[in-house]
Amino acid sequence: MKIRILVYCVIFFCFLQAQAQEEYARYVVRELTSKPYHGRGYVFDGDRKAANFIRKEFKKYQIQPLGDDYFQYYNLSANTFPTEPKVSINGKEYHPAINYLVDAASPAIEGTFDIEVLELKSSDKQAVEAILNNSNYENKFLYIDEDLALKHMKAPQLKEVTDQLKKAGFHKGLILNSQQKLKWRSLTYQNEKASINTRSLWLDPKVKNVAHVKIAPKLIPQYRTQNVCGFIKGTSSSDSTIVVTAHYDHIGAMGKKVYFPGANDNASGTAMLMYLAKYYATNAPKYNVVFLAFSGEEIGLLGSKHYVSNPLLDLSKIKFLLNLDMAGTGDEGVQVVNGTEFKREFDTLVKMNKDNELLPQVLVRGPMNRSDHYPFFEKSVPCFFFYTLGGIDAYHDVYDRYETLPFTRFNSYARLLIRYMDHF
């Protein structure tokens, strides 16, 4: 009877712990994706508000500061959109992030412009120069149906052509149409030409088409942002360190009404980092653990690049680094980038997952340079980049919201990471 009661108590304790994991994650994601944070970009102080929230939580759980009161400051350049753009075509007003997106590198423009419907059938130099040098396109917007163009060229070729058309020519701007979902990003510069991405906008080339456009971005060449850095001292005398990283920034807003919440990317990864910090604050780790929440990831890994160039601890002391992105699903398990490079460590992770029946699968992937582990990897720091699989497909759009983030396997994922960190 006593053994049975003990088993029930253990099960109940594990249940309560799991509830606490997801409850805290939901609290963090709900906060970071709320309207006052404006998509955690570089307009309306979104990134700074997010950094202050993370610092407040670190202080609450007595995570020690690494750096100047937890912050490591640096400057970046950002093309921001403090004013909501206005686009009307043939008298019909379209809605930003629903019907269209302004290219993140667009310059300011306002006016009414005729639209020239182009059939783009070739990507060769002569064909592109014919467009660039055509004075009949002066003060016009060029409309290109990218889906039709892809019947004549490959996607990289099309991108090369449109990139050229964003930088030069008699035309005033571009309308790039596709049936694909609209996705936005952050950029550090402005192009010469305005560009608008539309979804499923068909224009009849046989009639007069007119666009009224008002776009008022603000390029900030020296925007001061910050990484948030904390640490927990280990119980051993070793100076070896486990590092957990996640980017807290997202792609910001277009005016005060339209913002990109970034629930899965990457409020969820930030929530996992913060949960692990909270956990180890009361469950002392063997080795020192450093928690690095980066800004600047979405605009070119700038936060992690700055950190690696200006480390707050000796990079050679890092025993292993875990970079967490998109932690909010997991129906189909987790992907581990760099698993091919650190096979022994990857095999250990797979065995732990199988033995404890935590995630459906742990998949391996080779190196890739699209997240904050990569600047460390280039400095020979052993590292994995994790992201969960399955569930919602919202990404870099207005639909990546707290309300639709399932947290499907968050508890199991947290337990796997803790077990893995503890095995070192």
Q: Which of 423, 390, 406, 380 is nearest to 22 (CA)?
A: 406
Residue identified by tokens 């700038």 is 302
pLDDT at residue 12, as a whole number? 40
Q: Which of 76, 74, 25, 29 is nearest to 50 (CA)?
A: 29
pLDDT at residue 5, as a whole number? 46
pLDDT at residue 68, as a whole number? 79
Q: Is 153 helix (H, G, I), strand (E, B) or coil?
A: coil
Q: Calculate the dihedral angle through the C-alpha atoms of 185, 191, 193, 196, rounding to the nearest 10 degrees.
A: 0
Spatial contact of 325 and 387, defined as CB atoms under 8 Å apart: yes
Residue 201 token pair? 């906008």
- With 0-12 / 13-18 / 19 or more C-beta atoms within 10 angstroms meaning exposed / middle / buried, residue 400 is buried
Q: What secondary structure letter does DSSP report for 408?
A: T
pLDDT at residue 10, as a whole number? 41
Domains delineated in the chain: 22-78+220-423 (3.40.630.10), 83-216 (3.50.30.30)
pLDDT at residue 15, as a whole number? 44
List b or e across 248-281, with b for residues whose CB sees 16 or more CB atoms inside 10 angstroms.
bbbbbbbbeebbbbbbbbbbbbbbbbbbbbbbbb
Query: pLDDT tens digits for the chain (424 residues)?
Result: 555 544 344 444 444 455 678 999 999 999 999 999 999 999 999 999 999 999 999 999 999 999 779 999 999 999 999 999 999 999 999 999 999 999 999 999 999 999 999 999 999 999 999 999 999 999 999 999 999 999 999 999 999 999 999 999 999 999 999 999 999 999 999 999 999 999 999 999 999 999 999 999 999 999 999 999 999 999 999 999 999 999 999 999 999 999 999 999 999 999 999 999 999 999 999 999 999 999 999 999 999 999 999 999 999 999 999 999 999 999 999 999 999 999 999 999 999 999 999 999 999 999 999 999 999 999 999 999 999 999 999 999 999 999 999 999 999 999 999 999 999 9
Q: How far apart are CA 215 and CA 388, in angstroms?
A: 36
Q: Which of 202, 123, 213, 206 is nearest to 171 (CA)?
A: 213
Q: What 3 state SS string does 62-128 have?
A: CCEECCECCEEEEEEEEEEECCCCEEEECCEEECECCCEEECCCCCCEEEEEEEEEECCCCCCHHHH
Q: How far apart are CA 351 and CA 412, in angstroms?
A: 15
Q: Which amino acid is at 344?
A: R
pLDDT at residue 19, as a whole number? 61
Q: Which amino acid is at 368?
A: M
Q: Which of 411, 338, 398, 421 is nearest to 181 (CA)?
A: 398
pLDDT at residue 18, as a whole number? 52
